[in-house]
Amino acid sequence: MKTPVSTVIGRVIIYFILGLLAFLTLYPFWHVIMYSISASEAAMEGGLFFFPRKPTLAAYSLLARNKLIFTTYKNSIIRTVVGTCINLIMTASIAYPLSVKRFIGRNFWTMVIFFTMLFSGGMIPTYLLVKELGLLNSMWALILPGSISAYNMFIMRNFFQSIPPSLEESANIDGATPPRILVSIIMPLSKPVFAALALFYGIAHWNSYIDCVLYIDDLSKQVLQVYLRSMINVTAFGQVGEAADRAAIAGTGMSEETMKMAAISASVIPIIIIYPWLQKYYVKGVLIGSIKG
């Protein structure tokens, strides 16, 4: 059967709009990559970058010799991995009992947690609490204060509620305890929501820098985003890092903008690597967790 002309025109318009939106979303990142692998003198000419001008990896080579970049990169990876694992454990530990209807005080604790979504403790009280706990200048200051998100907890709770209660009842008959049910039955069936929330928590940890600015003074314990922020805000890249790094930068004639673009490109590599592995669970986990229950 021949497709009507109106249908073809409609599809063309829809594909054009979607393609345009995809281009507007992806091009800024493409521009950053092309700029970072272009020679400094060519990059300084300005304009849009669809392809590299006089391709070179000099900026990345120079970046690889900066010891502080590797230190902050390592700190960010440790924070993201450890923080995300703690986030998921804490979220599941609270979401599971709140998903069980026979749990005493279920509605009360749900309202208490919901209240924290509307009102926070404030920046100054939180800082004073972190200080009194002796967490300043430690990785735990970046992980423990945000060890659980109320919004993500509700998503996981709703997903748990979508699991047939008969599975839990069968486990109870066999003598399984609630922790055993959570670990052996609920969690294996909840891979989509765990993958989606791991992505949420991981990206939040990787991109966060405000808490590091507040709680970390030691340069060797700072995360990558704080270092990149310093690079972007200073008047010259050579003001950041050790004397040897400043001498190396000055000797190459590399422009400040090219170095910034190379550093920004390097900072998103982990997210680009991880996202394809979690994408297949992402939509399913979020949709089921946010609608059911």
Same domain as 144, residue 84:
yes
Same domain as 117, residue 15:
no
- Within-domain flag for 253: no
- Within-domain flag for 225: no
Same domain as 138, residue 191:
yes
Same domain as 144, residue 34:
no
Spatial distance between the Cα atoms of 152 and 98, rounded to a whole number of angstroms:
13
Instruction: Give Cα 102 to chain centroid, integer Å.
Output: 35
Spatial distance between the Cα atoms of 267 and 73, rounded to a whole number of angstroms:
8
* Nearest CA among 19, 72, 32 for reference residue 227: 72
Same domain as 133, residue 50:
no
* Nearest CA among 113, 83, 92, 110 for reference residue 159: 92
Range of the domain at 197: 67-218+273-291
Indicate the pTM of the whole model.
0.78
Q: Which residue has the tokens 């209240």?
A: 115
- Within-domain flag for 285: yes
Q: How many domains does the chain have?
A: 2
Same domain as 120, residue 19:
no
Same domain as 50, residue 177:
no
Give strand pairing partners of 55: 38
Task: Choose from 55-59, 233-237, 252-256 the range with maximum mean pLDDT.
Answer: 55-59
Q: What's the pLDDT band for 242 if we cut at 50, 70, 90?
A: very low
Same domain as 161, residue 44:
no
- Within-domain flag for 241: no
Spatial distance between the Cα atoms of 197 and 278, rounded to a whole number of angstroms:
10
Q: What's the pLDDT band for 17 if we cut at 50, 70, 90?
A: very high
Q: What pLDDT score does 122 carry?
A: 83
- Within-domain flag for 116: yes
Same domain as 50, residue 114:
no
Same domain as 108, residue 14:
no
Same domain as 100, residue 73:
yes
